[in-house]
Amino acid sequence: MAAQLDSPNSLEVENTAMGSQLDALNQWVMDMARLTQPDRIHWCDGSDSEFAELVKQMEADGTLLPLNSETHPNSWLHRSHPDDVARVEHLTFVCTSEREDAGPNNHWMAPADAHAKMDALFAGCMRGRTMYVIPYCMGPIDSPLARCGVEITDSPYVVANMRIMTRMGAAALARIEREKQFVRGLHSIGELDPERRFIMHFPEELTIKSFGSGYGGNALLGKKCHALRIASHQARKEGWLAEHMLILGVENPKGETHYIAAAFPSACGKTNLAMLIPPEGYRREGWKVWTVGDDICWMRPGADGRMYAINPEAGFFGVAPGTSAKSNPNALASIQHDTIFTNVGLTEDGQPWWEGLDDRKPAIDWRGNAYDFNAPAAHPNSRFTVSARQCPSWSPKAEDAQGVPISAIVFGGRRASLVPLVFEARDWTHGVLVGAAMGSETTAAATGAVGVMRRDPMAMKPFCGYNFADYFAHWLSFDKPGAQLPKVFHVNWFRKGDDGKFLWPGFGENLRVLEWMIGRVEGSASATETPIGALPKVEDIRMEGVTLSDEARRVLFHFDRAGWQAEIDSLEGFLGEFGDRVPDALKQEQGRIAKELRAG
């Protein structure tokens, strides 16, 4: 299904030839071509030869720099515009007819105003460029949970990344033809001018318009724009959940696997947790961890009442800095070949390099300048894009059309103080409150200050395509007769000691905490009830082979009543920001915990 067109005139002839089922798509592509005026239109088929052709072209114009072909075959470095390195939350809008439907958690613009603003930016913006039409499927191509979209872009870098991150091309087009429904995404890098940059979502029209950025989260429209903002809106209408969660499988020595979905804000270690390598002792016993997804989870109740989840993505767009043989050997193994790196540094012999990788000295920084030791070689939000199939821990179940059954949902954030290593919510309603109360220190994945504590409910603050109050109500609505809901937990891998250092070793050792959670699901692990939930004592978690300081043993398992009183009181104010739409059940749950804390 590849058709290359030399001019908008021949466009009409070629598109008519594509078949009447695709009329709506053809019509939209033609309308967008009239608006943006490309020189050429290329329908992407997702083939190897198409990818090779694109790469050749990008190598020739310097968009992609080939890396050392002996150490990193078929891998490239892309250097973005230095002002275009992260998501831009202040320029990201949800445009619903009613402002209240977007909620205080989103920037809002009236749809007609937003279309007018965006169409003015898009007018003629592809003159001299090729327009790429990318049909894609989010999720296994034959999954009832999967959804399709079409992204129009003028960036070959976006096409190459979308090919890795989605099921793109002919099979997706065939599904669109069958279903006659798809998300429309229009993207142009424009002039990469931060003053002329907007990411607009029209959930009621299943439409995205993104202008002025080539950065993944702003430009690979299948990812945050479709699979989270538009999908969350769609999921509410259709009775499922689109979440900012990794999905992993934990297989015990008996060969039984429990699947866990976990929400953490951007750059808080989702990829590392999803690819966890069990500690030595666990490996000897036969424990394995399987990766199903590292960023996004779509889940819905199955016929047996359990939640079933798919990863809508086909690849990883992971944060490079900090990725090493120690922190994430599976990620490192995945990115030795056929990988696109963005904004990392280079060694003398053309290998990609970032802070935390190893002790070698880089030669060139992410801007292409000689490395001068005063600034990081790699941008803190530099990334790798790689097919999930290259990951040694990639789960055979990740392609399962029905998804995997979820035993536990985990919420977590970066909390230097107060929040213990792990606790369990007492029921679903409490679990929803725990998710709604999530807080974390900000990271480099979005522009703005780093290390500032902000509330980030379910790690969806930047991604929920509708009013958080309605979102909380939607979460609560899954608790109905017959439902076999996952248990809900909260973790904090980032608790710091008096010396400012992390108290918990993290990484592979996190499996110890996952094992405790599975024990709770199966009814075999112990815990102590407190007003904030059930906490393990240090002896409830297997610790042989790990050394914890006395401070860590004391603090990580401690429930600090006075500190939690302040935390839960401030939650009342936070929920109040969403006004009367906040479900009573959630307010009552907050009130119940506040009362129990005072009673103690």
Q: Give residues in contact with ligand OXD (CB under 6 A).
A: 87, 217, 266, 295, 317, 445
* 153 part of the interface to Mn ion, by CB under 5 A: no
Cα(222)–Cα(138) distance, rounded to whole angstroms?
7
Which is closer to ligand OXD, CB of 433 or CB of 459?
Answer: 459
What is the rounded distance in angstroms from the CA atom of residue 352 to the CA atom of residue 75?
9
- Separation between Cα atoms, residue 355 and residue 345, nearest integer Å: 9
Minimum CB–partner distance for residue 266 and Mn ion (Å): 5
The CB-of-445 to ligand OXD minimum distance in angstroms stands at: 4
Pairing mode, strands 453-455 and 439-441? antiparallel
Query: How far from 28 is each of 25, 33, 136, CA to CA, in Å?
Result: 5, 8, 16
Rounded to an integer, what distance in angstroms lies between the CA atom of residue 381 and that of residue 319?
A: 6
Closest among 480, 479, 494 to 419, alpha carbons compared: 494
CB-based closest residue to Mn ion? 295
Give whichever of 22 and 445 is closer to ligand OXD, judged by the CB atom: 445
Mention every residue, 6+ apart, whose C-beta is less than 8 A from residue 178. none
What is the smallest separation between the CB atom of 437 and ligand OXD, expressed in angstroms?
20
3-state SS string over 63-103? CCEECCCCCCCCCEEECCCCCCCCECHHHEEECCCCHHHHC
Burial of 411 (0-12, 13-18, 19+ CB in 10 A): buried
For 345, the token pair is 């540094």
Choose among Mn ion, ligand OXD, none what residue 486 binds, the Cβ cut-off being 5 to 8 Å by kind.
Answer: none
Asked if 84 is part of the footprint of Mn ion (rule: CB under 5 A), the reply reads no
Per partner kind, with CB cut-offs from 5 to 8 A, the member of ligand OXD, Mn ion, none near residue 163 is none
Q: Measured from the CB atom, is 266 or 395 closer to ligand OXD?
A: 266
* Residue 330 interacts with, from ligand OXD, Mn ion, none (CB under 5-8 Å by kind): none
Contact (Cβ atoms closer than 8 angstroms) between residue 225 and residue 94: no
Residue 317 binds: one of ligand OXD, Mn ion, none (C-beta under 5 to 8 A by kind): ligand OXD
* Among the listed residues 151, 177, 243, 295, the single contact to Mn ion using CB under 5 A: 295
State how far the alpha carbon of 333 is from the alpha carbons of 197, 252, 337, 416, in Å.
36, 23, 9, 31
When CB distances to ligand OXD are compared, the closest residue is: 266
Give the residue with the Cβ less far from ligand OXD, 316 or 557.
316
Nearest to 92 by CA among 231, 221, 228, 197: 197
Partner whose binding site includes residue 428, from ligand OXD, Mn ion, none (CB under 5 to 8 Å by kind): none
In eight-state DSSP terms, residue 196 is: G
CB of 267 to ligand OXD, least distance (A): 7
* Complex with ligand OXD: residue 220 or 514, whichever CB lies closer: 220
Q: Which span sits near Mn ion by CB under 5 A: 114-122, 186-194, 263-271, 486-494? A: 263-271
Q: How far is the CB of 491 from Mn ion (least distance, A)?
A: 17
Residue with tokens 């059940």: 585
266 near Mn ion, judged by CB under 5 A: yes
137, 225, 268, 297: which one is catalytic? 268
Question: How far is Cα 387 from Cα 25, in angstroms, rounded to an integer?
Answer: 27
Of Mn ion, ligand OXD, none, which one does residue 87 interact with (CB within 5 to 8 Å by kind)?
A: ligand OXD
Interface with Mn ion by CB under 5 A: which range of 27-35, 261-269, 472-480, 512-520? 261-269
Q: Minimum CB separation from ligand OXD for residue 294, in Å?
A: 8
Closer by beta carbon to ligand OXD, 75 or else 161: 161
Q: Which is nearer to ligand OXD, 313 or 509 (CB)?
A: 313
The contacts of residue 157 (CB under 8 Å, 6+ apart) are 58, 63, 64, 78, 214, 340
Minimum CB distance to ligand OXD, residue 295 (Å): 5
Judged by CB under 5 A, the number of residues near Mn ion is 2
Interaction between residue 243 and Mn ion (CB under 5 A): no
Residue 222 binding: pick among Mn ion, ligand OXD, none (C-beta 5-8 Å cut-off by kind) = none
Q: How far is the CB of 398 from Mn ion (least distance, A)?
A: 18
Which tokens hold the place of 373? 């030791």
Distance CA 197, CA 390 (A): 34
Is the Cβ of residue 50 or residue 295 nearer to Mn ion in the bound state?
A: 295
Listed residue (107, 315, 76) closest to 216, CA to CA: 315
**Residue 125 appears among annotated catalytic residues:** no
Q: Which one of ligand OXD, Mn ion, none is in contact with 156 (Cβ closer than 5 to 8 A by kind)?
A: none
Please give the Cα distance from 256 to 178 (Å, whole number): 37
Q: Please give the residue ranges that form the binding site for Mn ion (CB under 5 A).
A: 266, 295
Q: Which residues are catalytic?
A: 268
